[in-house]
Amino acid sequence: MSEAALTSCEAYRSELPAHLRDICKSPKALDVCAWPKWLAAGEFDVVFSVNLVHIAPPTATDGLLTGAAAALRKGGRLMMYGPFLVGGKPTTESNAAFDAKLKGMDPRFGLRDADAIKSKAAEQGLRLLATQDMPSNNLFMVFERT
């Protein structure tokens, strides 16, 4: 994550009401393939991932699921937003074109299958609570740490 992105996130956090600002930690860059030592196990209520897994190698998806499962308290939520395959297929022509474009940039990139993510998440003790269709052919998936 760039310094500009971290600064932007902190600016939004600083605008929260005090009672919310006190419980929201300042943003930090995180390599999901190598969760840092400062991250205590079971410390978080929420891990929120936006437009990550399709523009990263599959190891990032695995790292996100493994790390979130370790970082979340029991009952904590992993929320994932972005474009996904459903049943191994793009949901629209535009998502198929986007997937091809990503793979052209880097063969390790591309839309990930929502069912495969659900299965891998379950292996880590993350149960799918909900999947919601979102604008621009994206999905919002919510998992709970069991």
Q: SS3 letters for the chain?
A: CCHHHHHHHHHHHHCCCHHHHCCCCCCCCCCCCCCCCCCCCCCEEEEEEECCHHHCCHHHHHHHHHHHHHHEEEEEEEEEEECEEECCECCCHHHHHHHHHHHHHCCCCCCEEHHHHHHHHHHCCEEEEEEEEEHHHEEEEEEEEC
What pTM does this model have?
Answer: 0.85
The whole-number pLDDT of residue 99 equals 97
User: DSSP state, 25?
Assistant: P
The residues that bridge with 85 in the sheet, in sequence order, are: 113
What Rg do the C-alpha atoms of the chain give, in angstroms? 16
The mean predicted confidence, pLDDT, of the chain is 92
The answer to whether residue 75 scores a pLDDT higher than 90 is yes
Distance CA 114, CA 139 (A): 9
**Single-letter amino acid, residue 50:** V
Residue 117: pLDDT band (50, 70, 90) is very high
Residue 1: pLDDT band (50, 70, 90) is low
Distance CA 112, CA 115 (A): 9
- The length of the chain is 146
Residue ranges per domain, the chain? Answer: 1-29, 31-145
CATH architecture assignment, domain 31-145: 3-Layer(aba) Sandwich (3.40)
Q: What is the pLDDT of residues 31-41, one digit of tens each?
A: 888 876 667 77
Mean pLDDT of all residues in 107-136: 96
Q: What is the pLDDT of residues 86-108, one digit of tens each?
A: 999 999 999 999 999 999 999 99
